[in-house]
C-alpha cells in the first residue's frame, strides 16, 4: 500500500498481524547488524542477504537478553562516525560477548569490541581513507580461502592501538597493525576495513566465510520459498475475511496485491485514491492492470478536490506529508466503509521504510522522514495490518514480483512516493503547478525509455522548484519556472548515486521540457548522491 502515514506513531495491531511476516520458519537463521550510525549499515545487511541468509538491522544498545530471545546465528557490529573514547559515544551491551554467538566488529564495531574486551583505541596520525592492502597471516575462519594479501577499503581516523592477550592479529596494513583480529577462545572477530563496500573486492567472500563458515547458517533465504511461505501464512491468518489493499500502480503495492490474490483470490478488494497527485496516465494504468490482469474488485476514489484544499498554502515538507496522510485516511475510510466484512488492511511497507521511519522498536531509532507506509491507518478504522514486504529491500521485492509472474513493465517500474507529486512540487501545491510538473515528468520518463536506459536507472523524475528565473524566448523576456531532473542508480534505495546520463539525452530532455511545457524556461540536473541527499527532494 502506498499511503502517507500522518504521524511518527506506530499503530497498535494484534500480535498475529505484526508478527505474521517474517515467520520463524523463514528467519530462524538470521544475522543481526547492530547499527552505530554507519552509512553502510544497510549495505552490510544487503551483502549478508546476498549470501541467501536473512539479515536484520537492530539498535546498537539492544540488551543482551533481547538478543538471546531473538537468537541470531551471528552478530555484526557496524561502523560509525563517533570515537569510542568520547563521552556519550554509542556502545553495545558488553554482555552480548558472553552469549556464545559469533560476533564480527567492523571499523567502529571492531574498536568497540577491543575496548570492551581489554584493548585500547586511540586517535592516530596514520589515518587511512581509501584503498589499502591488507596482509593476511591466517587462512582460516573469516579468511578461509582468501589470498595472502587483498585490496580493502579503509575509512577511519581512530584505530586499535593495543589488544588484550585474549586476541591475536590476523591481518595488517602498512599503517594499521591490527587491521584484522580474532579472539583466541570466543567466536569474535574484528576488521578495521569495510568488507561490505565494492572497493573491497573480496569482501563478499569474507562475509560469506563469517555467515556460512563461522556462524553455520544455511543459505536458504530464497524468494521462491519466501513467496510460498508468505502466501500460506496469509491464507492461515486471513481465513474467510476480506482484505483491502491500497493501490498506487507501483511495484510494492502490485507485489502485495499479487501475493494476496494468490492467497485469497476473490476475498481481495483494492482501493485507488486518485488524489490529484498522480503521474500522467497513472490512474488509467492502474485501472487497466488491476481490472484486466488481476481481475480484482477495484474501487477508484475521486479525491483531488479535498487533497488540494488541505494542501493550499502549505510548503513545509513534513506538513505536506501529514496533511496528505489525514486526507488519505478520510477518503480511504469513506470507501472502505462500503466494503463489507473487511477485516484486514494490506500495505506495501518495505524494510527501508521501517528503518528510516524508526518504526521498529528494536531497530535504529532516528527518524529521517515520515514514511507513507509505516504504522498503518489509525486504530479507529478497526483494521488488522498485513505487511508481507516489510522485511524486504526494493530489489528483493522486484525478484519476488518476477517469481509471482508479474509483467516486467510492472516489476521494473520506477518507484513513486506515497505523497505523490506533492514531494516533487517544492513550495505551494496548486493544480496549475502540478500540471507543469506532470508534463515535465512525463517527458523525462519517456526520453529515458527511448534511450533504453529505463532498466539501467533506478529512479528518474522531474522536480518543480519553488523559484523562477529570467529567460529569453522568442526575443521576449520571460520569468518562469525551473525544473530539476533527478536520476539515480541504486540496488537497495538506502544509498544511491546520480546517473551519468549522456549529455545528448539531457539536452533533449531540456529542449523538450522548455519547448513543450508552458511556464518553464530553465532545466537543471541533480548530481547529488544519497547520502548526504535523499532521492526525493522532500
State the catalytic residues: 107, 194, 196
Strand pairing class (54-59; 180-183): unpaired
167 near 182, Cβ under 8 Å?
Answer: yes
**What torsion, rounded to 10 degrees, do the Cα atoms 94, 214, 37, 11 define?**
-90
CA distance linking residue 333 with residue 527, whole number of Å: 40
- CA 338, 340, 341, 346 dihedral sign is negative
384 near 16, Cβ under 8 Å?
Answer: yes
Distance of CA 72 to the CA centre of its chain: 22
Per-residue DSSP letter, 119: -
Please report how many Cα atoms fall inside a 13 Å half-sphere around the Cα of residue 392, on the Cβ side: 27
Report the candidate in 78, 100, 101 with the shortest Cα–Cα distance to residue 90. Answer: 78
Count of H-run helices and E-run strands, the chain: 16, 18
Report the candidate in 223, 492, 248, 229 with the shortest Cα–Cα distance to residue 346. Answer: 248
CA distance linking residue 523 with residue 501, whole number of Å: 15
Cell of 425: 512540487
Cell of 199: 572497493
SS3 242: strand
Helix axes 431-450, 503-516, angle to 10 degrees: 150
> What size, in residues, is the chain?
538
DSSP 144-213: TT--SEEEEEEEEEEEEEE--TTEEEEEE-SS-TTSEEEESSSSEEEESS-TTSTTSTTHHHHHHIIIII
Amino acid at each position: 500500500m502506498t499511503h502517507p502515514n500522518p504521524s511518527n506513531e506506530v499503530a497498535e495491531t494484534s500480535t498475529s498481524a505484526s508478527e505474521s511476516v517474517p515467520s520463524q520458519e523463514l528467519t530462524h537463521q538470521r544475522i543481526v547488524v547492530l547499527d552505530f550510525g554507519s552509512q553502510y549499515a544497510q549495505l552490510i545487511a544487503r551483502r549478508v542477504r546476498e549470501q541467501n541468509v536473512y539479515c536484520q538491522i537492530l539498535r546498537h544498545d539492544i540488551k543482551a537478553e533481547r538478543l538471546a530471545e531473538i537468537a541470531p546465528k551471528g552478530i555484526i557490529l557496524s561502523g560509525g562516525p563517533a570515537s569510542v573514547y568520547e563521552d556519550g559515544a554509542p556502545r553495545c551491551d558488553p554482555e552480548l560477548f558472553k552469549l556464545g554467538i559469533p560476533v564480527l566488529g567492523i571499523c567502529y564495531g571492531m574498536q568497540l569490541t577491543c575496548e570492551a574486551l581489554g584493548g585500547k583505541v586511540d586517535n592516530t596520525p596514520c589515518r587511512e581513507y581509501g584503498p589499502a592492502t591488507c596482509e593476511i597471516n591466517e587462512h582460516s575462519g573469516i579468511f578461509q580461502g582468501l589470498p595472502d594479501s587483498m585490496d580493502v577499503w579503509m575509512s577511519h581516523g581512530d584505530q586499535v592501538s593495543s589488544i588484550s592477550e585474549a586476541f591475536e592479529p590476523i591481518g595488517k596494513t602498512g599503517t594499521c597493525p591490527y587491521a584484522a583480529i580474532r579472539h583466541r577462545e570466543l567466536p569474535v572477530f574484528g576488521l578495521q576495513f569495510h568488507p561490505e563496500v565494492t572497493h573491497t573486492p573480496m569482501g563478499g567472500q569474507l562475509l560469506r566465510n563469517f555467515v556460512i563458515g563461522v556462524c553455520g547458517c544455511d543459505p536458504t533465504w530464497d524468494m521462491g520459498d519466501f513467496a510460498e511461505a508468505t502466501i500460506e501464512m496469509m491464507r492461515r491468518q486471513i481465513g474467510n475475511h476480506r482484505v483491502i489493499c491500497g493501490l498506487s500502480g507501483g511495484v510494492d503495492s502490485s507485489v502485495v496485491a499479487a501475493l494476496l490474490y494468490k492467497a485469497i483470490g476473490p476475498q481481495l478488494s483494492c482501493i485507488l485514491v486518485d488524489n490529484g497527485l498522480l503521474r500522467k496516465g497513472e490512474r488509467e494504468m492502474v485501472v487497466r492492470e488491476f481490472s484486466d490482469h488481476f481481475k480484482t474488485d477495484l474501487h477508484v476514489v475521486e479525491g483531488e478536490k479535498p487533497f488540494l484544499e488541505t494542501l493550499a498554502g502549505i510548503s513545509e515538507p513534513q506538513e505536506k506529508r501529514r496533511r496528505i496522510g489525514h486526507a488519505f485516511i478520510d477518503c480511504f475510510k469513506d470507501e472502505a466503509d462500503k466494503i463489507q466484512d473487511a477485516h484486514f488492511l494490506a500495505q506495501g511497507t518495505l524494510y527501508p521504510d521501517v528503518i528510516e521511519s524508526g518504526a521498529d522498536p528494536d531497530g535504529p531509532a532516528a527518524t529521517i522522514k515520515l514514511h507513507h507506509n509505516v504504522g498503518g491507518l489509525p486504530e479507529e478504522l478497526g483494521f488488522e495490518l498485513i505487511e508481507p514486504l516489510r522485511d524486504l529491500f526494493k530489489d528483493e521485492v522486484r525478484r519476488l514480483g518476477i517469481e509471482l509472474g508479474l509483467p516486467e513493465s510492472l516489476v521494473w517500474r520506477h518507484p513513486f512516493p506515497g505523497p505523490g507529486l506533492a514531494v516533487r512540487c517544492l513550495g505551494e501545491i496548486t493544480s496549475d503547478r502540478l500540471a507543469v510538473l506532470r508534463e515535465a515528468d512525463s517527458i523525462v520518463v519517456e526520453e529515458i525509455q527511448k534511450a533504453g536506459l529505463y532498466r539501467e536507472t533506478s529512479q528518474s523524475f522531474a522536480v518543480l522548484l519553488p523559484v523562477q528565473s529570467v529567460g529569453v524566448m522568442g526575443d521576449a523576456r520571460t520569468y518562469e519556472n525551473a525544473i530539476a531532473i533527478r536520476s539515480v542508480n541504486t540496488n537497495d534505495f538506502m544509498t544511491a548515486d546520480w546517473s551519468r546520463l549522456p549529455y545528448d539525452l539531457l539536452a533533449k530532455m531540456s529542449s523538450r521540457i522548455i519547448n513543450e511545457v508552458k511556464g518553464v524556461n530553465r532545466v537543471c540536473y541533480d548530481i547529488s548522491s544519497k547520502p548526504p541527499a535523499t532521492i526525493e527532494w522532500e
